[in-house]
Amino acid sequence: ETGVTQTPRHLVMGMTNKKSLKCEQHLGHNAMYWYKQSAKKPLELMFVYSLEERVENNSVPSRFSPECPNSSHLFLHLHTLQPEDSALYLCASSQDVGFKQYFGPGTRLTVT
Amino acid sequence: SQELEQSPQSLIVQEGKNLTINCTSSKTLYGLYWYKQKYGEGLIFLMMLQKGGEEKSHEKITAKLDEKKQQSSLHITASQPSHAGIYLCGADIQGAQKLVFGQGTRLTINP
């Protein structure tokens, strides 16, 4: 499926770096999501955007900064991350909040 | 404890055998989704169940929702190597403003 794309697929960054993850959806959806998937933990919702406005922020540290410039694009800006932030970051979109979510392939992030 | 528990956490079956994965909620379920994930990749939507007693099938995979038990089961018949992966249930549950997920079940199919 190519409805939701994420770049890069893999990212290795140092603790002092600044990088951004990008998500793009080609489905005409109004809602977009960032999830974190760590080893042996359930999928954790980080941010929800509906019509480019943030509607949920689940107590995510400020070193993660989302940006939604339009309903098709979602970014996750990263700075001064910790090794425990290493995980698979998944983007998803849905027609609206509460509807079936379609996931991107994820970005595997390693913080050294 | 987690709001959504999956069992088993991992499962190894012989090719051709049937298997069942369960997803149990500690609260009332309003809708349940099953996803499949290949290791390190995104989630692929399998099925959505919204009504108690609802049962859906896709090829050799069948999912049921038991509202009274606050549980869903995913059943695979005559398993194939292509069924291998991680199966995740996600649900709209009472009191939660967002979709919550189980911890996943890792399925391995041995030839």
Indicate the residue of A56, A100, A104 with minimum beta-carbon distance to B45: A100
Q: Which pLDDT score, from 0 to 100, does residue B41 have? A: 79
Q: Is B35 touching A (CB cutoff 8 A)?
A: yes
Q: Which pLDDT score, from 0 to 100, does residue B97 have? A: 67
Contact B40 A43 (CB under 8 A): no
Distance from CA of B7 to the nearest CA of A (A): 13
**Between A and B, how many residue pairs show a Cβ–Cβ distance under 8 A?**
46
DSSP state of B42: -
Contact A103 B4 (CB under 8 A): no
Distance from CA of A108 to the nearest CA of B (A): 7
Interface test with B, best of A43, A44, A57, A93 (most B CBs within 10 A): A43
Count, residues in chain B:
111
Q: Which of A67-71, B44-48, B51-55 has the weakest average pLDDT? A: B51-55
Q: Which pLDDT score, from 0 to 100, does residue B53 have? A: 85
Q: Least CA distance to B102: which residue of chain A?
A: A42
- Which class for B66: exposed (0-12), middle (13-18), buried (19 or more C-beta within 10 A)? middle
Span B10-28, average pLDDT:
95
| Measured CA distances, A20 to A7, A42, A64 (Å) | 9, 23, 10
Q: Least CA distance to B37: which residue of chain A?
A: A105
Q: Which pLDDT score, from 0 to 100, does residue B28 have? A: 85
Span B10-22, average pLDDT:
97
pLDDT tens profile A11-70: 999 988 899 999 999 999 999 999 999 887 888 889 999 888 888 777 899 999 999 999
CB B5 within 8 A of CB B101: no
Question: How far is Cα A50 from Cα B57, in angstroms, rounded to an integer?
Answer: 31
Say yes or no to pLDDT of B1 above 70.
no
CA atoms within 13 A on the CB side of A1: 19
Span A99-109, average pLDDT:
91
Contact B42 A103 (CB under 8 A): yes
Contact B42 A41 (CB under 8 A): no
CB B25 within 8 A of CB B7: no
User: Which residues of A are less than 8 Å from B102 in CB distance?
Assistant: 42
Q: Average pLDDT of chain B?
A: 90
Q: Is B42 touching A (CB cutoff 8 A)?
A: yes
Say yes or no to pLDDT of B48 above 80.
yes
Q: What percent of chain B has a predicted confidence (pLDDT) above 90?
A: 63
Q: Which pLDDT score, from 0 to 100, does residue A1 have? A: 52
Q: Residue B74 is encoded by which pair of tokens?
A: 């995913």
DSSP state of B88: E
| Measured CA distances, A103 to A20, B98, B109 (Å) | 18, 16, 24
Highest mean pLDDT among A47-61, B1-15, B27-41, B84-98: B1-15
